[in-house]
């Protein structure tokens, strides 16, 4: 698959024709970069001098808390931009470590090239604005999730969100409790303990990665 084809799936190029992407790319200097699992693409605090545009793969953004514990902020799957809100504006530093979850390809272009690219097509500008907007919305929710509620609230949020458009009451955690603890910004034993307590109180049934919601009402009460 050519780069142009891959880019046409990227949300930055939504509603932009394949041909047009090719034309634009010809006038822009960029380089292609590749990463393997657990390669660090950018370090928290590094200066942002350009824009990575994902072609394929999956990356994650991680912060580190005061104890040195990793807190995963988000997974970015498929075709998006890395740290789009940090190439313009006053604070041009990566807010997170950006790490490849598996084989990942990007193109990278410097600040000026990216600015030039955005000017080539108003659609790109709108798309970029919408990407940054949704990032803000995401972070706003993240604050509520990470900072304003205790562990059981996080569990409740997580489980209820995962079963929102889902008739059933069972959830299969997509990764280990260890990783989930990172996402919640807590330690694994604490997460396990909270899960056990919710299980003992017959609010959920938790066994390894399999969780069944027994009492949705009570679970909702832990949120907020």
Partner DNA sequence: ATTAATCGGTAACATATGTTACGGGAGGAC
Partner DNA sequence: GTCCTCCCGTAACATATGTTACCGATTAAT
Name the site residues for DNA (rule: CB under 7 A). Answer: 67, 69, 150-152, 173, 176-178, 185-196, 206-209
For the bound state, the minimum distance from the C-beta of residue 128 to a copy of itself, rounded and expressed in Å, comes to: 7
Instruction: Tell me which of DNA, a copy of itself, none is bound by residue 140, counting a contact when its beta carbon lies within the kind-specific cut-off of 5 to 8 angstroms.
Output: a copy of itself
| Beta strand spans in 13-169 (E) | 31-35, 40-42, 50-56, 58-64, 70-77, 81-82, 97-100, 104-110
Instruction: Tell me which of a copy of itself, DNA, none is bound by residue 187, counting a contact when its beta carbon lies within the kind-specific cut-off of 5 to 8 angstroms.
Output: DNA
Report if residue 71 touches a copy of itself, rule: CB under 8 A: yes
Binding mask 180-219 for a copy of itself (x = CB under 8 A): -----x----------------------------------
Please name the helix (run of DSSP H) or strand (run of DSSP E) that holds residue 211, with its range, or none. strand 210-213
User: Pairing mode, if any, of strands 210-213 and 31-35?
Assistant: unpaired
What span, in angstroms and rounded, lies between the C-alpha atoms of 25 and 8? 12
Binding mask 131-170 for a copy of itself (x = CB under 8 A): -xxxxxx-xxxxxx-xxxxx--x-----------------
| 3-state class (DSSP) for residue 158 | helix
- Smaller CB distance to DNA: residue 49 or 210? 210
Whether the CB-CB separation of 16 and 123 falls below 8 Å is answered with yes
Which residues fall within 8 angstroms of residue 110, CB to CB, at 6 or more apart?
29, 49, 50
Per-residue exposure over 25-57, b if at least 16 CB sit within 10 Å of its own CB, e if not: beeeebeeeebeeebebbeeeeebebbbbbbbb
- Smaller CB distance to DNA: residue 68 or 168? 68
For the bound state, the minimum distance from the C-beta of residue 176 to DNA, rounded and expressed in Å, comes to: 3
Report if residue 120 touches a copy of itself, rule: CB under 8 A: no
Instruction: Tell me which of a copy of itself, DNA, none is bound by residue 58, counting a contact when its beta carbon lies within the kind-specific cut-off of 5 to 8 angstroms.
Output: none
For the bound state, the minimum distance from the C-beta of residue 179 to a copy of itself, rounded and expressed in Å, comes to: 18
Which residues fall within 8 angstroms of residue 87, CB to CB, at 6 or more apart?
48, 50, 51, 111, 114
User: In the chain, what's the furthest Cα-to-Cα distance?
Assistant: 63
- Smaller CB distance to a copy of itself: residue 5 or 47? 47
- Smaller CB distance to DNA: residue 151 or 183? 151
Q: Tell me which residues touch a copy of itself (CB under 8 A).
A: 63-66, 71, 73, 85-86, 88-91, 95-96, 125, 128-130, 132-137, 139-144, 146-150, 153, 185, 222-224
């Amino acid at each position: 698959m050519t780069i142009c084809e891959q880019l046409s799936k990227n949300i930055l190029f939504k509603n932009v024709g394949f041909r047009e992407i090719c034309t634009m790319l010809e006038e822009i200097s960029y380089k292609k970069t590749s990463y393997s699992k657990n390669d660090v693409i950018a370090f928290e605090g590094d200066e942002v001098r350009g824009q990575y545009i994902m072609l394929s793969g999956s990356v994650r953004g991680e912060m580190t808390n005061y104890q040195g514990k990793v807190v995963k902020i988000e997974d970015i799957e498929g075709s998006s931009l890395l740290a789009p809100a940090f190439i313009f504006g006053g604070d041009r530093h990566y807010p997170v470590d950006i790490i490849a979850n598996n084989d990942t390809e990007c193109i990278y272009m410097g600040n000026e090239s990216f600015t030039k690219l955005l000017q080539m097509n108003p659609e790109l500008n709108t798309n970029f604005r919408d990407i940054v907007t949704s990032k803000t919305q995401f972070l706003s929710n993240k604050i509520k999730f990470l900072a304003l509620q205790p562990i059981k609230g996080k569990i409740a949020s997580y489980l209820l969100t995962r079963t929102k458009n889902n008739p059933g009451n069972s959830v299969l955690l997509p990764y280990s409790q260890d990783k989930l603890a990172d996402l919640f910004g807590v330690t694994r034993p604490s997460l396990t303990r909270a899960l056990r307590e919710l299980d003992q109180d017959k609010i959920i049934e938790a066994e390894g990665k399999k969780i069944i919601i027994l009492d949705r009402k009570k679970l909702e009460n832990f949120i907020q």
